[in-house]
Structure 1
């Protein structure tokens, strides 16, 4: 679970950190990695490594699986936080359906709840929503004085197709962007440790219109990078991937940036007052969104303070604790089994007198 590789990792670590701050003992449990599980990058977080997945079933307390719906029996009802949209491959769907049947489900947006409810054919009300958060350092990070007339644009997502990086590359060649020397573009190397990320990193490195900087590994260093920019773009792909939330959007607004994001998935729910939504997978629309952000100027101090009051880590953890405090929900598998049992049960016969002449009527129910 290396730092800076994705929202799921930051969300998990932040939740554990805040739970411990509030006096609720919590730890990150990894499987099969020993000490090489990312703990060296999170010195303030308790880690525990297990040799096998089956050992998870022996743990006491509340168990929350992250993303992967492994079918491991646990001592009590366990939870599953689904950060990602449902898989589209049949073999992956079978794994997802099987692994979610006996778990209490948590997702990161109302959009994700509706998406997973359709996918799993369950009532949306059975899926809990706990929003992600921006760490306090994003709102606390000072913004340096900027050169008048210059707008600095940052792509802070992973270097992968679903994050819309190819749409951004197209946008760099739209005339209203390409000819504006007052616009600068920067991307980080987040995701370059993966094969496709390495390819995309080389593409960006060869493009004269964008600079590539080393990915940031901690919330504090990412906050500093965002504060050095005016606009953060999130051109997330909507053809086969739907962003279930988009924590980068919240972090950017807490840092005082405007955000240009695809009008898709959970991204509209991230609006803290500084989001401009554009048609996804449309380079021209992204270009005009950037122009709108330039025309609007930087977020005011009051707007940034208002943004910082939304999606805080305390709000997120309190919502999570409220989910744990609720009566244990009935897992979908149990509901299905109970319905099947009712269908197969024999009809009962009830004798009733329903006519004046005392003719006995048998009614099957």
Structure 2
């Protein structure tokens, strides 16, 4: 498979390596990025980035690829997706595919015009073996009707410091931390629950990465922990005095249209990080942790453990065995029209939830999401939509 890249950051540099491992015919024919942070990853693995182009338009006009891959900062995704769709390309966009509610409506209108089949999205956790086992347990009836979900994603302090230093520290570029980082998780639970969220409340802010917590104020001069993960475009060295506007902790409660309730918690300063869920159904309980690599299902009536499974880490994947599976299935989809487990509409709906959480956090109000869904649905059926 031949690809062209707009936005050769660390993520697409890494995915270039993964795709290259999964597809012997993989080739990058060209890229556009004025400051390609991911070039070092390609160089490390001996992968050519192809021809450097002076603009996204020049890259697309040159053609010669099967898939246009977009890894630019989030606020630019919409323009780059539009460019590819209007050129008739098949596109892979990193998540989140847009960064605001207004961009969501605009992309929905593009989906109405061009269809959804040519836009793929990098919500990689949909490909994780653990998530697929959770969905199978649901579909096999082991959980009964889902009643409530408890979920969390917490990250190491060095990773949290990365967000305080990277371009993602500004909501004008990232959308928000909840959108940028946690849209993966929100998508998973939207898919599990099988309904749209209708009401959301949320609280959070920044309490860890603030000047009063700078270790140097207590005589700790070794700050290497907080610089372990390099930043890319428009990065900064500031951690506890970051000029960004993202949060470093947030909690939310959500009510879905089918009555399921969920709470979600994220924190950027977890020295023993985890990414886990507990799903409570009328017939069973499911617990899992992507980082600690375990999955368990317990039957209500017998109290017996019906599934107890652990997962082996892979050297290639950064996402619990999901990256290489995603690469293989994306190649199969592009070259042979194979199925995929996630759509751009799933990505848009996860983004709507994340952005609504932030609206609730800022306003300190319960947000009724139904007006958003009404406008979103209207955008998906604009005049001229494809069948």
TM-score, normalization by structure 1 = 0.41
TM-score, normalization by structure 2 = 0.39
Higher strand share: 2
